Chains A and B, each alone.
Chain A
Amino acid sequence: QKEVEQDPGPLSVPEGAIVSLNCTYSNSAFQYFMWYRQYSRKGPELLMYTYSSGNKEDGRFTAQVDKSSKYISLFIRDSQPSDSATYLCAMSWDNYGQNFVFGPGTRLSVLP
């Protein structure tokens, strides 16, 4: 079993839909959780950064962490074609970059 798992997709949705992206993990020590967006042929860029459990909202994006279920989610409201990208989750038990564990990513297509 991989330490962090994501459905690879592709996930195709119509413009304006609510998108739910998810990761499951096996290490209960993880307490820092991140979502990165990666456009085709570009490097990942950070979208959301949360510590411990709960929700965090930033514009159209909401990150949710459920440590009891070892499950994190990223919701995108009013999705736009510009949201078409691969979304990577990442997590760590401490705040040391070398210990970040990345999921394989989910490819999202938002169709106009």
Chain B
Amino acid sequence: NAGVTQTPKFQVLKTGQSMTLQCAQDMNHNSMYWYRQDPGMGLRLIYYSASEGTTDKGEVPNGYNVSRLNKREFSLRLESAAPSQTSVYFCASSPGTGFSAKNIQYFGAGTRLSVL
């Protein structure tokens, strides 16, 4: 019963390097999300995918791209990393939307990224 799995758990990059954060969920959820968490700021939405085949920008999308590879997987790419992208990144998934259902988000354990 894995839930939401994120890889890698830790990463150190140099300014200008690129990398992809991977996320997979095994709960057959329709919606997936990428957040970043910075001290004192709370969780901020970077991108989300409401359903397979769609992606949309969240609150802080600049410097990131995403791919919803299939229903299970949602990746986040940093094309040219900057020190301001040093953060903890969380992937989450939820069943979807609907006023009669609890649209609970389930989170992965996070990726701790440092950009030097």
Q: Which A residues are closer than 8 A to B by beta carbons? A: 4, 8, 41-46, 49, 88, 90, 94-98, 100-105
Contacts and interface: CB of A to CB of B under 8 A. Distances in A.
Interface string B68-101: 0000000000000000000000101010011101
Contacts of A105: 42
Interface residues of B, number: 29
A44 B43 CA distance: 10
Would you call the interface of chain A mostly helix, strand, loop, or mixed? loop
A95 B109 contact: no
B33 A104 contact: no
Contacts of B42: 4, 88, 101-105
A90 B37 CA distance: 14
Contacts of A96: 50, 97, 103
Contacts of B109: 41-43
B58 to A, nearest CB: 6
